[in-house]
Amino acid sequence: MKLPFPWIALGVGLLLALVLVSSGALPGAGERGLPLLTQLVIAEFGFFLTAIGAVMAVRTLLSGGFTVAPASAVAGCALLATGFLWLGLQLWPDVGA
């Protein structure tokens, strides 16, 4: 069975979000488990991956009509992309605080 890209992007995005949260990337989390540059790269990659997944799911919705599966992929990818953007901005020194 071949999975559509938006679902793969959603799964990988959730995994990347879990890695970032467990590494202490959230503001006020204390000591970082990963170097700052690594956290920034993960957040940037997660943002682009989930944003592309959301766009591809929207294109699927527009071409095939409204169904629940692509709509939930759009919602999940869009939420993750927004979260990665926010977290990436919070990670920059003297910007998010």
Read off the tokens for 88: 């990436």
Q: Residue 46, exposed/middle/buried by CB under 10 A (0-12, 13-18, 19+)?
A: buried
pLDDT of residue 97: 54
Q: Are 7 and 15 in contact (CB under 8 A)?
A: no
pLDDT (average), residues 26-51: 88
Give the CA diameter of the chain: 47
> If you average pLDDT over each of 29-43, 52-66, 76-90, which comes out highest?
76-90
DSSP symbol at 33: S
The CA-based dihedral angle spanning residues 80, 81, 84, 88, taken in that order and rounded to the nearest 10 degrees: -170
pLDDT of residue 28: 73
- pLDDT tens figures, 52-64: 999 999 998 888 8
pTM score > 0.85 for this model?
A: yes
pLDDT of residue 5: 92
Domain ranges of the chain: 34-97
